[in-house]
Amino acid sequence: MEYMGVIGFVFGIFGFLAYLNMSPLKRKVESLEEALSKMQGTSYHEDRISLLKAAEAYIGEKVKIDLKDDHEDMDISYYGNSKHGANVIMEADRDWMLVHVETPKENKDKLIRMESIQRITKVD
């Protein structure tokens, strides 16, 4: 029986040491979350997760979509981003974004891969 008390004490000390090691990590995670929340309104997205969060925040809104150079689409880049048209995000997930593109001649729904998008900016 005496061994059970010693084993409990040893595990208690290991638990306390693990807690002390994790508390700086928790502060770092909280500071990163705070920095990300401040960046939420910015228009440049370095990774897919921040791009997805921005796309989900702008669902139903008119946006300007900048595509990477090797993924250009005239309807989205030229017509949708002009004063005569608009891009409206209908739905977004980790891999795809559904965009309703209003052009001077017609309206289209386009499915775009998230990896081809460089930037999303809300249009007022």
Which pLDDT belongs to residue 31? 83
For residue 40, the one-letter residue type is Q
Which pLDDT belongs to residue 46? 60
Which pLDDT belongs to residue 92? 92
Predicted confidence pLDDT, tens digits, the chain (124 residues):
577 778 888 888 888 878 777 777 778 888 888 777 665 544 455 677 888 888 899 999 999 888 887 788 888 877 777 777 788 999 999 889 999 998 888 899 999 988 888 888 888 7
Which pLDDT belongs to residue 39? 58
Which pLDDT belongs to residue 37? 66
**Of 29, 61, 56, 54, the residue nearest 40 (C-alpha):** 54
Tokens of 81: 């981003």
Which pLDDT belongs to residue 43? 47
Strand order in the sheet with 62-67: 107-113, 96-102, 86-92, 62-67, 117-122
Which pLDDT belongs to residue 98? 94
CA atoms of 42 and 47, how far apart (whole Å): 13
Which pLDDT belongs to residue 103? 81
Mapped onto helix, strand or coil, the DSSP state of residue 43 is: coil
**Of 88, 82, 92, the residue nearest 122 (C-alpha):** 88
